[in-house]
Amino acid sequence: MNRATINSINRRLLENLRNNTTDMAASETRIAASEFYCPDILAAERQHLFINTPQPVAFSGELPGPGSYLALQMLDIPVLLTRDERGQLRAFINACSHRGARVASGSGQARSLVCPFHGWAYALDGALRGRPEDGCFSTPVDDCALTPLAVSEKYGVVVVALTVDGTQHAVDSALDEIGEHLEGIGFQHYRALERRHFDVAANWKLVSDLSLESYHFKTLHRDSVARILAANAVVDTFGRHSLWAFPFKSIAQLGERDEDSWPDTVQGSCTFTLYPGVMFVVNSLGAQMIRAEPGAGPGESRVTFVGVSGPGCDVEQARQAWDFGGEVFEREDLPIAEDCQRGLVAGRRDQLLGRNEPLLHFWHQLWRAALS
Ligand code: FES
Ligand SMILES: [Fe+2]
């Protein structure tokens, strides 16, 4: 984001705060309850929105230099990200060419990755380096490299294909429509803090919806984030991606100052949602990624919550901010998503999305369109 865009967002936030309003959709809309419990819809979503769609999965800073690796589980697909000796990012199916075991777990730095089952060793470019009792195998070592996946790294965000059919073009172009806005954030300079997972008894879309509207701030978060943040949001969409910002209450002070003297950051929280629905939340000390994925059934999801600290920011303060955000998310947001899941299954009534929840309209439309 450049200075003009930041000023424009701050101006719109200030205006919405003054007028006690928020960016709106044209009219109310409804979402069928079955969207959240139908196994056929979930199966189609897994295929079209996850397996066939490039996935933003990590910050570049989680693989900080040559020899870094990060093992991920996406749906039930084991994925391995590495940075080879030359610093090039690579992605593989995390499955040994001997009999399929994961060759690495967690994250770290290594010169080679050794499969824990029988000890086959791989370089970080995926080549098989050695195998115990080599004479027992006739398949050449060169034919035993890890299976590569298409991967790209732009604007500090790692995007990977979850299937060997994924093309390089698809991952390279996945963020094009929002690229210039991500560019100015400079995620490539952010440093990794931690990755956490939550298993949630709610559909993945109910979890994603939590990070797409601020209508709930004054009630659900009245004793936490609503103390410092106002619900008067601005929203923008860029192709299949979106930006949602809501202000610090203190933004009111900007109204008395000339725009030339305004700060060069958005005075509030900015959430970039990258297709197919991964949140990158930026605050003044760092950022967090929230990824909700389908679990085994329509009423289950797995949520990944990653924290990074911003360049030049105090790491300890950034961690405290991330911990606070995680605590609110776990204690206040996730239980209400589980509650909605039970209510939708039991009552089978449509959800009503108000005009004041415009990004829910946008994202549910995109998710539905992907299945048709
Ligand atoms: S499965 Fe990896 S060494 Fe046997
Ligand atoms: Fe919330």
Distance, CA 114 to ligand 1 centroid (Å)? 9
Pocket around ligand 1 at a 6 A CB cut-off = 96, 98-99, 101, 115, 117-120
Measure 216 CA to ligand 2 centroid, in angstroms.
7
Average pLDDT of the chain, as a whole number? 97
3-state secondary structure 174-201: CCHHHHHHHHCCCHHHCEEEEEEEEEEC
**Alpha carbon nearest to ligand 1 atom 4, residue:** 118
Please give the CATH architecture assigned to the domain spanning 55-173. 3-layer Sandwich (2.102)
Q: Where are the domains of the chain?
A: 3-53+179-371, 55-173
Q: What is the pLDDT of residues 338-372, one digit of tens each?
A: 999 999 999 999 999 999 999 999 999 999 999 98
Helix (H) or strand (E) holding 157: strand 157-160
The answer to whether residue 1 scores a pLDDT higher than 90 is: no
**Which residue is listed with tokens 């050449």?**
140
The CATH architecture assigned to 3-53+179-371 reads Alpha-Beta Complex (3.90)
Q: Is the pLDDT of residue 93 over 90?
A: yes
φ, ψ of residue 166 in degrees (nearest 5)? -65, 140
Write the pLDDT tens digit of every residue in 269-280.
999 999 999 999
What's the length of the chain? 372
Residue 59 clears pLDDT 90, i.e. is over it: yes
Q: Can you spell out the DSSP letters for 310-353? A: PTTS-HHHHHHHHHHHHHHIIIIIHHHHHHHHHHHHHH-PPEEE
- Structure tokens given for 243: 């930006």
Ligand nearest to the CA of 96: 1
Angle at 290 between CA 51 and CA 32, to 5 degrees: 65
For ligand 2, the distance from its centroid to the CA atom of residue 209, given in whole angstroms, is 9
pLDDT digits (tens, 9 = 90+) for 205-230: 999 999 999 999 999 999 999 999 99
Model's pTM, two decimal places? 0.97
Q: What is the pLDDT of residues 169-213, one digit of tens each?
A: 999 999 999 999 999 899 999 999 999 999 999 999 999 999 999
How much is the pLDDT for 2?
86
Which of 80, 97, 102, 120 is the pocket-test mutation for ligand 1 (most atoms within 8 Å of CB)? 120
- Give dist(CA 8, CA 269) in Å, integer: 15
